[in-house]
Structure 1
């Protein structure tokens, strides 16, 4: 349509994306592969009609710092690119019932990513972002406020993660085996005490407080756990961890038959306390996290994530 003489046609205003997403990426995860994924986010932004900003972590705890400011900075969701440690930092930065997050796994274990069937391919999330397809699952919270999305272990695996934390650089999965066997010599813990709503157990050698059925790789330690039922599944082991007993436990875990091991017990609870008379290391979502005691409570449906 022609305009009258002397009347300028108004300039078209650019259409701004409805959503803003923040990418928090650990550049050394996946031996640097995480950083090589970053150009694909421009494709996702164009295809899903969203605005995306990328920030790289520079030191331990940086992911938590960045995520903590995401909502105040006007972002609608966060994309975490890295391993279990990076994801745990982001979750703790977002807090319970915080912004929804997308997981692009680039670590060694990737326990949470496997649980929610996350993809390593950025472009697999176009439809999820377009339709804002978000699901919820439980989180756990320790007495110091730290959140976890999968599990807390006290005893043998805490000793393993402690040894791994003392190493420099990226850890390849093949390095876990010799470290694990060495840790057996230093993980003869017999004084764990587990107290819950209706359970009081003494003389425990190992315990796992879990939200997920999967433990890592092909192993299922708490195979009946449901990540959205508002309860922890707790496993206790009442025998000394030796090379022979470890082979047995791993074998049954891989067959998803931990309940058939006589020295194990299982129960469900909303809160649990684990103590010891000696220094017992713990792991949180696969990372060394100090020593007992711990008190954990479940936070129902506190984590929102994009579902493919």
Structure 2
């Protein structure tokens, strides 16, 4: 599986040490490309690029704002790639015309979306839960 990790270095609870631990853990499980966001809206651009380049998943280490941007980028692809018709998207390991799956790793202050998914608020613990789900082939459709 090819995944792009989007890191918001300015997210409230994100620091270089945690980021590096998560990169090593995720990189051991998937073919990982890492991008840091540099400005407002950058996560949307990066997620759309990941979709256009055929990544299987986009992982986000950041808060709710970064996750929101990434989702918007996945829903509004570039270079003519379109999702699976009704906006349902494909998820992990889907076909070429499906959207990449979204992997959420909380790195903000509130982490409302991550909590709604039942993820631990700690980014290292959340990464462990994500890796377990990947190993077991579990995914969740959010609509």
- Structure 1: distance between partners of 2:110 and 2:116: 11
Partner residue, 1:102: 103
Cα offsets for 1:192-231 (capped at 9, x unmatched) = xxxxxxxxxxxxxxxxxxxxxxxxxxxxxxxxxxxxxxxx
Cα offsets for 1:43-88 (capped at 9, x unmatched) = 2322x3x211110000000000000011222310011111111000
Which of these two proteins has the greater Rg computed from alpha carbons? 1
2:119 touches 2:129 (CA, 8 Å); kept in 1? no
- Structure 1: distance between partners of 2:38 and 2:44: 11
Matched, 1:43 2:25: yes
1:79 touches 1:102 (CA, 8 Å); kept in 2? yes
1:25 touches 1:57 (CA, 8 Å); kept in 2? yes
Partner residue, 2:2: 20
1:44 touches 1:123 (CA, 8 Å); kept in 2? no
Greater fraction helix: 2
CA drift of 1:28 comes to 0.9
2:13 touches 2:109 (CA, 8 Å); kept in 1? no
Cα offsets for 1:107-156 (capped at 9, x unmatched) = 12211111001232223322212233111121xxxxxxxxxxxxxxxxxx
Indicate the SS of the match to 2:140: strand
Greater fraction strand: 1
CA drift of 1:31 comes to 4.9
Matched, 1:29 2:11: yes
Structure number with greater CO (CA < 8 Å, separation at least 6) is 2
Provide the TM-score with structure 1 as the length reference.
0.36
Give unmatched runs, 5+ long, in structure 2.
76-86, 90-98
Cα offsets for 1:4-56 (capped at 9, x unmatched) = xxxxxxxxxxxxxxx111100100112543x432222222322x3x2111100
1:81 touches 1:104 (CA, 8 Å); kept in 2? yes
- Structure 2: distance between partners of 1:38 and 1:131: 24
Indicate the SS of the match to 2:141: strand
Indicate the SS of the match to 1:69: helix
Partner residue, 2:83: none
Partner residue, 1:90: 70
- Structure 2: distance between partners of 1:77 and 1:131: 16
- Structure 1: distance between partners of 2:27 and 2:134: 9
- Structure 1: distance between partners of 2:62 and 2:113: 11
Runs (4+) off by over 6 Å = none
CA drift of 1:94 comes to 0.6
Partner residue, 1:130: 135
Partner residue, 1:117: 118
- Structure 2: distance between partners of 1:88 and 1:94: 10
Indicate the SS of the match to 1:30: coil
